[in-house]
Amino acid sequence: MDIALSIKYQYYMKTNLRTFIKHTAKDFHNQSVNPPVVRASTIIFKNLQEIEKTQKKYLKNPRSGNFDYGRQGTSTTHALQRILQEMEECYKVYLTPTGFGAVFLAVLSLVEPGDEILVTDSVYSPTRLLTQDYLKKFNIKSIFYDPTKFNDLKNKVTKKTKLIFVENPGSNTFEFQDLKKIVSFAKKNKIYTAIDNTWGTPYLIKPIKLGFDMSIVSATKYYSGHSDVMGGSLAINKRVFKLVEPTNRVTGLRLSPDDAYFILRGIRTLDVRMDKHHINALKVAKFLSKQKKVVRVCYPYKKNSPNYKLWKKYYSGASGLMGLRIKSKNKNSVKSFINSLNLFGYGYSWGGFESLALYQNQKQLGARSYTNLKKDEHIIRLHIGLEDPNDIINDLKQALKKIK
């Protein structure tokens, strides 16, 4: 980057995030608004001296974007890393081929045989499988705490606790936690902290600034925004850099330049989309809260609720993902409700422009201890997309008639 472009970049960094994501990562060399896709396995050099010079630059500053092999990235992936580092306000960002890859990198970087991990009970079910089952073979134990009770977390910490893994809000049931309390407690006890921040993204909350050591986002979701790419990001502070950097190099986790390009392009409109998701979801949540068949809407809309207060304490807005608890003795009628929706797709993932609906059975929730469903209660996950909110509500209204 020449001096003129460096000055422009420094200027962009001082602007509001909404402006920053529109203007950063431009490619003035190729005269393109978005950086080109650079695909490479071999990074070619003019001579051996240039290879050695690049390697020395990397050793001096591993965050500088100097790489000697395609597994470490290309200029395309580096452009995405730079924009995410500014958004997260962190020391470094690592890119992975999936969101769960970022979870894997975060956990495996920190724990060793004999360690314990404290995990929120309402965590994403693949994260539960990783921590609860897979890590057993390495003599790493996971203990799950009630996300609604901070004292339960405190009481389960032992001398072996190496990491507290938070997902906020909880997967499918959307419990919000007091994040500063967790970070403060962890620091006093010299425990690392990680948070899955896919629901909020750094547009709504910046976990590293709050004191978390690591922040995970599935770029498959809102970063991309178009349901056509997969990726993940792991933002870290300086404290854990020396642990994550070597793990990243040996695991071979690498986001493709093509996926990096699409994710970066999606980020340009992240603010506009997130604001609209929030507006639509809030309107839908208020409608659903008045329906007799809906026992609870798991979304921060009710001002006197504990979840609302904890959400408001830390977030500048909300995304489009919510959960419903529906009361019915007839499970098939609940499924008929979902199948009768016309504007909602049926499929996994979320964060795209379209609305989605899923019935969340026990297998999808995972083997939880603190998600207490009452008799004949069912959990539905809704992603409220960017359609007209009145059309979404009308669609839900006609489908709710199917529930017996």
DSSP SS3 for 32: strand
- Please provide residue 216's backbone torsions phi and psi, each rounded to the nearest 5 degrees: -110, 135
Predicted pLDDT at 13: 62
* Phi-psi label, residue 172: left if phi above 0, alpha if psi -120 to 50, beta otherwise: left
Amino acid at 145: Y
Q: Which residues pair with 358 in a beta bridge?
A: 381
CA distances from 384 to 80, 127, 202 (A): 27, 24, 20
Residue indicated by tokens 């933002």:
235
For residues 109 and 92, the answer to whether their CB atoms sit within 8 Å is: no
DSSP string for 192-233: EEEEE-TTTHHHH--HHHHT-SEEEEETTTTTT-SSS---EE
Predicted pLDDT at 4: 47
Domains in the chain with CATH codes:
3-39+74-267 (3.40.640.10), 270-400 (3.90.1150.10)
Predicted pLDDT at 3: 47
In whole angstroms, what is the distance from residue 312 CA to residue 306 CA? 10
Predicted pLDDT at 152: 98
In whole angstroms, what is the distance from residue 197 CA to residue 216 CA? 6
Strands 92-96 and 232-236: antiparallel
* Both tokens assigned to 259: 């996926």
pTM for the model stands at 0.92
* Both tokens assigned to 166: 């938070």
Closest by Cα among 204, 349, 178 to 273: 204
* pLDDT tens digits in sequence order for the chain, 404 residues long: 554 445 555 656 667 888 888 777 777 666 777 788 888 878 888 999 988 888 888 888 887 777 777 788 888 999 999 999 999 999 999 999 999 999 999 999 999 999 999 999 999 999 999 999 999 999 999 999 999 999 999 999 999 999 999 999 999 999 999 999 999 999 999 999 999 999 999 999 999 999 999 999 999 999 999 999 999 999 999 999 999 999 999 999 999 999 999 999 999 999 999 999 999 999 999 999 999 999 999 999 999 999 999 999 999 999 999 999 999 999 999 999 999 999 999 999 999 999 999 998 777 787 899 988 888 999 999 999 999 999 999 999 999 999 99
